[in-house]
Amino acid sequence: MTDYDDARFYNEMSLRIKDHWAKDLDLRYLQSLSYQNMATMYGQTGRFVEAADCFEKALSLGADLYIIRWALSHHNYGCMQALRGDAILAKRLFEKAYELRQSSLGDHYDTAASLHMLAGCYQKERDKRSLEMARELLLEAVRILESKACSRDSRRLARTKFKLSIVLDSLGDPKAQPLRAEAQSLVAGDGNLFTDEAAFDALVSYV
């Protein structure tokens, strides 16, 4: 039995117990948490259909209970759909995650993270209008990450500035190269020269 088998077993057992007690108690928050955990587990093993089903259940149960957790479910579901290549659904989920996070958290790392991921969806569409939208979303993410509320997390800021430099480059904006150098300077102390987006993404353990 693998670690994932163990995780699935305990999550399913936990959910059965919660479903049983939910007949008499309001356990929607705890049920949504279990579905979120199962969705993440299925997504990490490539079982995207099962993951999507669990995400949908988590979203249906979590509404209006704990807005920050509900926002996280939208964000994580968006990440999975972006990975699968469903840009339309991913954009809708990231937009909702951003809306919820902005209203509940304000200028926060997580709010910027949803903007960053939403911008990535527009960036992949590659037409000028979509690239301009990606640019505006990333500029707002940079503003948030540079605000006092975020205490300048240099890794997240470097990651978003590097993505913005790629978008600016695609738009033919001469500010792309200086911004890229700025992003690299933010993480120069890590002892590595980061030259591609994958390297910058790896700096942030949680997207």
Model confidence over 16-50: pLDDT tens digits?
Answer: 665 645 555 566 777 888 888 889 888 888 899 99
Q: Write out the two tokens for 16.
A: 């059965």
Return d(Cα 206, Cα 66) in angstroms, integer: 20
Residue extents of the structural domains in the chain: 1-65, 67-207
What per-residue confidence (pLDDT) applies to 148? 76
Beta carbons within 10 angstroms of residue 111's beta carbon: 26
Query: Is pLDDT of 201 > 80?
Result: yes
User: Please, which pLDDT band fits residue 132 given cuts at 50, 70 and 90?
Assistant: very high
Return d(Cα 18, Cα 153) in angstroms, integer: 38
Distances (CA, A) of 108 to 81, 143, 148, 153, 165: 23, 10, 10, 11, 22
In which residue are the tokens 């006092």 written? 148
Write down the pTM of the prediction. Answer: 0.85
Distances (CA, A) of 16 to 11, 30, 35, 53: 9, 12, 11, 16
| DSSP tag of 27 | -
What per-residue confidence (pLDDT) applies to 84? 92
In which residue are the tokens 């903007």 written? 115
From 1.25.40.10, 3.40.50.720, 1.10.3720.10, 1.10.1240.10, which CATH number describes the 67-207 domain?
1.25.40.10
